[in-house]
Homo-oligomer: A and B are copies of this chain.
Amino acid sequence: MRSVADQWLREVLLTLYRRSTATRAEIMAETGLHASSVSQAMRPLLRHGTILKVGDLESNGAGRPREVFSLNPDAVYFVSVDLEAQRIRFALLNFVGDIRYRWEEATGWEERLEVNKVFHGISMVLRNLDSRQLSRLLAVGISYPGMLDDQGRLTAFNLGLHDFPLLSELREKASAHRMDHLPIFIEPDRHSAVVAERWLGRARGYQNGLLLFVERGIGIGLFLDGKPVEGWRNMAGEIGHWKIEPGAEDPCGCGKRGCLEAIASSPSMIRQYLESTGQPSSNLSAFRITDVFEKARQGDPAASHVVERAAKAIGLALSYAINLLNPQIVILGGDLTSADDLFLPRIEREINQNGVPQLTRGIEIAMSALGLDMRLKGAGALAFRKSLADPALLRKMCSPVSLARGSVLPAT
């Protein structure tokens, strides 16, 4: 095993992750590796059960049938955590990125992040693995909203966090929960979302696109010329704090007024609905955003106004991003996926009204197929990619799998 170049193993595994299935010829084409390098990398991976032969394609000529390979779904597991939504969401992902188990930790819209809940949730997920499976657990991926500075402090206005010492809290609490052996990779929510859509979702094959998701906050992920945009300090994507309605009074968690997030995030929409119907805003966490959407569908004027205003702000913001970046596809995700009937036509109207026709013509505006799982799947995919880069984790990934194929867990 040691004799095979790690880089070849990485490229073969990454190709199979991104493509789900591939023939040797497809792996060669995608990695640019020679046939002999691909074969040398695949031999131990097949012998150890890290990858599986899952079928044969009929020959397209005189040659023998072409074998089709995939990752062994149960070769390794990842846990992913999404800090963005109303509840902290957890998933157990198998090696092919399927969600095998879910868990949520309740927290109100206005509650601050409690890192203990992160580890409690991880432990609830891990309960579902037997000891053999636990030994194949590779890493945890955490997707966070907001901005992490170079001291590991998180500022995420939508979570009420200002310079919150996320990294040191994670280290400390991991130790308290006896999880300090677990590699944890943390990524901005925009990157998780982009990677999920490009590897597993709607953006496969596109080179220039952006995806906007609305939940507790509003985030935007960008990929340009095929690469995710990270920015100088890995903080690109803070579109939620564009002062999109300069005169508006709506207060934002960032301390300013009129931000996109203060108008069009899910809790902001609920807040506006409560205010305009004279209900106490302390009801915020008792309400679900889908309730507001449902009322708008029934023609409730307050709910309709909230949706109209949010869609207008989102559409104007997207017209700016389109004029600036000339994407081929715009993907909408998060809570918007449960209200495409309400948002898609309104957002398209705003984009067409405000964008430059040369840039909006032919552009695709689409709903994410991954819905609320966008960031959970992306955090898992990023944990996989980071694990590839770590020699010890790569060796674990490629070590012999003793499990029979087929997990004891039901798919969810």
Contacts and interface: CB of A to CB of B under 8 A. Distances in A.
Interface stretch (A43-51, A107-115, A313-321): A313-321
A230 B149 CA distance: 29
Interface residues of A, number: 42
A155 interface: yes
Nearest to A220: B324
A236 B326 contact: yes
Given A147-B356, A241-B356, A359-B147, A324 B327 contact: no
Residue from A232, A242, A355 having most chain B Cβ neighbours under 10 A: A232
A323 interface: yes
A2 interface: no
A238 B225 CA distance: 17
A198 to B, nearest CB: 15
A325 interface: yes
Contacts of A224: 224, 229, 231, 236
B243 A326 contact: no
B325 A243 contact: no
Interface in A50-76: none
A392 B368 CA distance: 48
A23 B147 CA distance: 41
B358 A147 contact: yes
Residue from A239, A354, A355, A356 having most chain B Cβ neighbours under 10 A: A356
15 contacts: A155-B358, A224-B229, A224-B236, A232-B326, A235-B358, A235-B359, A236-B326, A237-B324, A238-B323, A238-B326, A238-B358, A241-B323, A242-B319, A242-B320, A246-B316
